[in-house]
A and B are shown apart, each in its own frame.
Chain A
Amino acid sequence: MVDTTSRSEHELISLLKQRDRTAFTRLYDDYSPALFTVILAIVKDRETANDTLQEVFVKIWKQIIQYDNQKGRLFTWLINIARNAAIDVLRSRAYKDTRKNQDLSDNVYEGANNTSMNPDRIGLKKFVERLKAEHRELIELSYFQGMTQEEISTSLNVPLGTVKTRLRAALLHLRESMKG
């Protein structure tokens, strides 16, 4: 595999695996904004997002031993841990508190004219917004709500094969829009 990881990142990973606390602090400072953003985009509530971020870093600390550079870059590995944790939270909270979810998304950010605070505008959402409705919906359901393609197929009453093809097309468009 082509190794595009910088030497300093290799060094960081090596120190983390040796349980070096300074390295862990560096990891937090470097990666927490991106991880927080994906979490916030999913759970939409800042307090929950901060709590989830804590759990994510505890998880990272425990699992970093298992991180293998051969399987992919560190950033990808970290973001996926964060995203999965956020989805778990979303799905458990949704199970308990559906009404509360809706209230939160209505009033917490009404004062935030600053688009960088609006969870509907941060991170990848900024680019997802630009896509056509059909593509936007698929990415919203799969990436931000953690629905499997089977679940989407059932929910939208669309054949599974169509969901798969359309989702891939949506992702390709998303990638294009990220370059603009």
Chain B
Amino acid sequence: MDIQAYIRSGIIESYILGLAGSDEVAELEMLRRQYPDIDLAITTFEIEMEEVQRNTAVLPDQVTRNRVLDRLENGDGRLQVVSASSVESRSEAGNLSGIRMLRTWKWIAAAAVILLLASSAVIISLLNTNSDLRRNNADLAVQNENLRAQQKNDQTILTRLYTTLDVVSDSNTIAIRLNGVKGNENSYATVYWNQSTRDVYLMPGAVPKPAAGKQYQLWAIVDGKPVDAGMLGECAGVCRMKNIPRAQAFAITLEPEGGSASPTLEAMLVMGGV
């Protein structure tokens, strides 16, 4: 299929603007997973649209903001303050006689009740705060974890990309283009073979995603015989394969996940001579 023609056809613009039919949508979503060029073209247009639409935007009424925020689902309500009126009070009039004494004691009792109520309220307020703080803390911990995971992910990708650059620009490395065999004319990949270390790296160029349970396997052709050179996994940039001392050609076949002892020749995707 002519990928460039597909990209230039207007289907991508149609898709992003929400105008594509369901068949077209299904086809595009499948193709974008297979062809990085299509995926990139889609994202590029998305970014263009975002920029234009942000730059030409007008503002809604201020009151709308208030209304929207008020309507938010309130799933994280604050703890209800427990009513403290159930606190009992006891007069300690005991066996004291005299009205004056009784009144004093009543005052003391009343003061005690007030004090108790006040401290209950304080305790409850502290409990609320504590609970909020703990929840915030948990939230922050989650955010922190997310950020760290993201950072670690970025770091890994960055490291792999630097490796790619090193591999590709090393003067000891030769590049061998593996072209699509009959039936897979649009596929290609590149093997980078370091002639001094004999390390082999593979950069998938246009390689369709394998079906579930299947995986691509690289072979080195040595004196007419295929030698396993490793499985193609997920890699940003180049994939490190096996070390191959000698070979006259390389090929990729589609094998069951985990690989095969010898290649399934009918399932060959690409091949290239050194």
Contacts and interface: CB of A to CB of B under 8 A. Distances in A.
Interface of A: 1-2, 4, 7, 10-11, 14-15, 18-21, 24-25, 28-29, 32-34, 36-38, 40, 46, 49-50, 53-54, 57-58, 61-62, 71-73, 75-76, 79-80, 83-84, 116-117, 122-124, 126-127, 142-143, 149, 167-169, 171-172, 174-175, 178-179
Majority SS at the chain B contact face? helix
Interface residues of B, number: 52
B10 A168 contact: yes
Nearest to B147: A11
Given A50-B61, A53-B64, A175 B53 contact: no
5 nearest A-B pairs in the assembled complex, by CB-CB distance:
A168-B10, A33-B57, A171-B13, A36-B60, A75-B50
Given A36-B57, A123-B53, A61 B45 contact: no
Main DSSP-derived SS at the A contact region: helix
B57 A34 contact: yes
Contact of A76 (B32, B49, B64, B69): B49
Contacts of B63: 50
Contacts of B29: 71
B19 A142 contact: yes
B14 A167 contact: yes
Contacts of B139: 18, 20
A58 B10 contact: no
18 contacts: A2-B40, A10-B146, A11-B146, A24-B69, A24-B72, A28-B65, A34-B54, A34-B57, A50-B64, A53-B64, A54-B67, A73-B47, A117-B58, A122-B56, A143-B19, A167-B19, A171-B10, A172-B13
Interface string B236-273: 00000000000000000000000000000000000000
A49 B60 contact: yes
Given A37-B58, A49-B60, A168 B11 contact: yes
B202 to A, nearest CB: 20
Contacts of B40: 2
Contacts of B42: 72
A37 B147 CA distance: 33
B43 A2 contact: yes
A4 B175 CA distance: 29
Contacts of B43: 1-2, 4, 73
A4 B40 CA distance: 10
A172 B10 contact: yes
B58 A175 contact: no
A124 B36 CA distance: 28
Given A34-B50, A122-B56, A123-B53, 11 more contacts: A1-B39, A34-B54, A36-B60, A54-B71, A57-B68, A71-B29, A73-B46, A80-B18, A143-B19, A168-B10, A175-B13
Contacts of A76: 16, 46, 49-50
A75 B57 contact: no
B142 interface: yes
Nearest to A39: B60
A126 B53 contact: no
B170 interface: no
A33 B63 CA distance: 14
A117 B18 CA distance: 25
A144 to B, nearest CB: 11
A61 B10 contact: no
Contacts of A21: 69, 72, 76
B48 A175 contact: yes
A7 B150 contact: yes
B13 A11 contact: no
Nearest to A15: B143
B71 to A, nearest CB: 6
A33 B59 contact: yes
B17 interface: yes
B134 to A, nearest CB: 16
A1 B48 CA distance: 18
A84 B75 CA distance: 27
B18 A53 contact: no
